Amino acid sequence: MDTPHASRRQFLAAGAGLAAAGALAGAAPSISPWGRRRGRRSDELNIAVLGIRGRGNEHIQAFARMDGVRVAALVDPDSRLFAERVKKVEELQGSTPATHQDLRRVLDDPSIDAISIATPDHWHALATVWGCQAGKHVYVEKPCCHAIAEGRLMVKAAERYGKVVAVGFQNRSIPNVRSAMRFLHSGALGKVYQARGLCYKPRDSIGVKPDEPTPDGVDYNLWLGPAPARPFNPNHFHYEWHWLWEYGSGDIGNQGPHQYDVARWGLGDPGHPTRVHSTGGYFKWQSDQETPNTQSATYDYADGRQMVFEVRGLYTNDENGIGIGNLFYAEDGWMHLNGSTWRTYLGRKNEPGPTTDTPDSVKEWAETDPPPGAGDPFANFIEAVRAGNQALVNSPIESGYTSCVLPHMANISYRVGSGLEFDPAAERFTGHNADAANRLLSRSYREPFVMPSV
């Protein structure tokens, strides 16, 4: 018997027991999925959406609109969100999803084929590994992991249990971004020697807030999950969790992963860098925020290429008209990539090159055989699940994990206060300050929300 899977089943059984006890005590039952359920097609996929407040609401609407896909369950520790989200699902697909505060309820439900994870970051890896062990395919938002070591376990879980696991890097599916990468990789600008990612996104102060009673309808123990137990605090809850190390990783790990992934893609999808140096600080505000609001990171690769990433969380100018996007520098020119718009400039006189502003360039660099999903990352995931083929995913877990390592490396360098050497094969830091840095490669888990060793 596989020990990690057995322990997960015991955990699920315990959760079911707690749920039964709650029902006996008069707790509100989950909404039944059967009331308005349409007949299930033989090829219909049942999906449970985990985390439904922000990005998860977009997951709900994307999947509920698809033929042959049914949003069968909604999961969130904040039950106050259920009524509005259930109504939306009913409008879109004509059937009522089940609702659960505890994700363990859907992991042991054999009718659920896949889970879509839009929880806070500190739940991403554990929910993914448990999902694979439970036989579910997984779509997980960025950053796919909250620590480098647990991200590698996600890759291993997908491989061991043979599940399709996709990471929510939408740029990998956008046709114009894909054409930008085709142009870069063609060598038309010469060798790309540096990629830059920009995250210029002003953020206001979250203030200083006292602990307070947990709101009615919120299971804060489930929300915390693997994170340390603590009293409820609004700055340790909806969205503000991004700015606290226990749950988030600042904007370099929030907005940043999208631009990191594009930057790494433009460099040809290399593995890990060999060096990182990140500096920054938290300026202007006095608040509960722990992560920096201004941060720069530089990465060196073994072949001499570089990546540079910058976060500006206060008030700033754009760079070449880009606030959130990428710049690529090559031996014979450079590229501006802003969303799905790209422009190129050639030589020392910056003569205009191919661009999405001209139909001929769009046509020339478009794919003749685009990947399944027609530019929709959710549809791409569903097509890969139907085919049982991880290779069809535009942003598979191995690639997504490699991109998510980058902001975590930056934060580790920032937190230990120095530049760091990294061994890509061992996925560990070496040299100066390595001991302090390697302690931040993994995290502690609170029982019983413990990451299995796969």
Q: What is the mean pLDDT of residues 32-38?
A: 33
The pLDDT of residue 33 is: 30
Domain-by-domain residue ranges, the chain? 3-170, 172-368+397-438
Amino acid found at 48: A
Confidence band for 13, pLDDT divided at 50, 70 and 90:
very low
At the fourth CATH level, the homologous superfamily of domain 172-368+397-438 is: Dihydrodipicolinate Reductase; domain 2 (3.30.360.10)
DSSP string, 319-383: BTTBSEEEEEEETTEEEEEETTEEEEEETTTTEEEEETTSHHHHHHHS-SSPPTTTT-HHHHHHH
Dist CA 319 CA 310 (whole Å): 11
Residue 168 has pLDDT above 80, yes or no: yes
Q: What integer pLDDT is reported at residue 43 of this predicted model?
A: 79
- For the stretch 292-347, pLDDT in tens is 999 999 999 999 999 999 999 999 999 999 999 999 999 999 999 999 999 999 99
pLDDT exceeds 60 at position 1: no
Q: Given pLDDT bands bounded at 50, 70 and 90, which one contains residue 12?
A: very low
pLDDT of residue 454: 65
Task: Encode pLDDT of 378-396 as tens digits.
Answer: 999 999 999 999 999 999 9
Average pLDDT of span 352-373: 94
Q: Are 166 and 377 in contact, with CB atoms under 8 Å apart? A: yes
3-state secondary structure of 276: strand
Q: What is the pLDDT of residues 402-445, one digit of tens each?
A: 999 999 999 999 999 999 999 999 999 999 999 999 999 999 99
pLDDT at 21: 34
Tell whether the model's pLDDT for residue 108 goes beyond 90: yes
Residues 203 and 201: their CA atoms lie apart, in Å, by 6
pLDDT value, residue 453: 82
Composition of the chain by helix, strand, coil, percent to 5: 35, 20, 45
pLDDT value of residue 69? 98
Q: What pLDDT, in 10s, does the model give residues 276-297?
A: 999 999 999 999 999 999 999 9
pLDDT at 22 over 90: no
End-to-end CA distance of the chain: 13
pLDDT tens column, 115-128: 999 999 999 999 99
Has residue 27 got a pLDDT over 60? Answer: no
Q: Which class would CATH give 3-170?
A: alpha beta
As a whole number, mean pLDDT of residues 48-57 equals: 97
